[in-house]
Amino acid sequence: MSKKSCLNCGHTISGEFCSHCGQKSDTARITPNSLIKNDILGSVWHVEGKFFNTLKDILFRPGKTAMDYISGKRIRYNNFISLLLILFGFNVLSYHYYEKFAPAETLTEDTLYVKDFFSKYSKIILFVIIPMLAANGYFLFKRIKLNIAEHFIIGTVGLLGILIIFLLSDIVSLIGLWKPFSQIFNIIDKILFGLSILFPALTYWNAFKNLYSIPGLLWRVLILYVLMGIESLIIILMLYRIF
């Protein structure tokens, strides 16, 4: 391959990228064709492709995704913290539309109570679940020798999965407002709710299934849920007393 100068920094390049600044070696003058193909369609496809690939991997292989991210294989994924905020925003928006279109009789007292609770404490919940998962996981899975920050990543993936399922549940609930589909979509909604509760367990199971025996992994996951339940109850009681 012939050598040429990088248009960005002027250094000589001979490969696909400049070794000095990282710009692609095929960068050339902007033409109508390159503007549409590379700058517009290419950017949109790259962003959307990466975004949806990250969501798919979190949903179908959460533990493996977390361990890949921890081991340094990060180029295929969106930043998990940014994704967390995006999904949290989508969940708020989707529930807003469900509340807007749902008939008054479907918004029971319990539904409104849950909505009011989460609207008040959503930020606290967001920033408490991950540290709880990370701290409990750190002590229960010490054999893996991951540090607390790495367990924080596993906890983040667990919460991301819950938020993805909640978003799907909101979409299903919206479709379920149409009476011909209401019964089947109500069943799907209940299944999704169950999956959201089990998702942290699925995350840890997928991450460590080759590193522990089935009984060893099972009792650790069960204790994780017991600890999370106790800690969640304490936090909810504290929120009621403080606020």
Residue 189 has pLDDT above 70, yes or no: yes
- Check residue 1 and give its pLDDT: 46
Q: Which of 77-91, 95-109, 223-237 has the lowest mean pLDDT?
A: 95-109
CA distance 17 to 217: 45
143/169 same-domain check: yes
- Check residue 121 and give its pLDDT: 63
Residue 15 structural domain: 1-28
**pTM (predicted TM-score):** 0.77
42/128 same-domain check: yes
CA distance 187 to 36: 44
59/77 same-domain check: yes
The mean pLDDT value for 158-183 works out to 83
- Check residue 113 and give its pLDDT: 60
**Band of residue 202 on the pLDDT scale cut at 50, 70, 90:** very high
% of the chain exceeding 90 in pLDDT: 35
CA 178 to chain CA centroid, Å, is: 29
2/49 same-domain check: no
Mean model confidence pLDDT for the chain: 81
136/188 same-domain check: yes
Domain count, the chain: 2
203/109 same-domain check: yes
Is 7 or 109 the better-scoring residue by pLDDT? 7
37/135 same-domain check: yes
Residue 172 has pLDDT above 80, yes or no: yes
24/92 same-domain check: no
Residue 105 has pLDDT above 50, yes or no: yes
CA distance 184 to 180: 9
The mean pLDDT value for 130-149 works out to 93
198/130 same-domain check: yes
Tell me the sheet residues that pair with 12: 5
3/52 same-domain check: no
CA distance 47 to 130: 26
Q: Which of 70, 86, 74, 213 is nearest to 152 (CA)?
A: 70
% of the chain exceeding 70 in pLDDT: 74
115, two tokens: 């909505």
Question: Is-contact 122 88, C-beta < 8 A?
Answer: yes
**Band of residue 37 on the pLDDT scale cut at 50, 70, 90:** low
16/121 same-domain check: no
